Amino acid sequence: MERPTFEAMLEAAAGVERKGDEYTVEDGYSLSVYIGQPGQAMEVSEVATLKLSAAFCEATSREHHSAYFIEYSSLHGLCVRPPSGGGGRRAGFS
């Protein structure tokens, strides 16, 4: 994937806020990026921030307290999960 495509995906993602070349994931939201080759992608989960540079992006994970430096050509997609509903009705519970 190319940087403009990745930026467009981040702009469209709910719960992601942009400040210059840095994207921050809002509290309650969970963002994962997928890297690698088709059919062999690895998930980097619980991403807190993404910093975009000319040649790569830096993904900082809340879960692993680690920074991943990823070439745009290795990115395949992202997933954003909204905050859990909490308080909605669920079958079998009153």
- Structure confidence at residue 85 (pLDDT): 65
Domain range summary for the chain, segments of one domain joined by +: 3-81
Per-residue pLDDT tens over the stretch 56-92: 999 999 887 899 999 999 999 999 999 986 444 445 5
Output the CA–CA distances (angstroms, integers) from residue 33 to 12, 46, 86, 89, in the order listed. Answer: 14, 9, 25, 31
Other Cβ atoms less than 10 A from the Cβ of 78: the count is 21
Per-residue pLDDT tens over the stretch 11-43: 999 999 999 999 999 999 999 999 998 788 899
**Amino acid residing at 68:** Y
SS (H, E, C) 9-36: HHHHCCCEEEECCEEEECCCCEEEEEEE
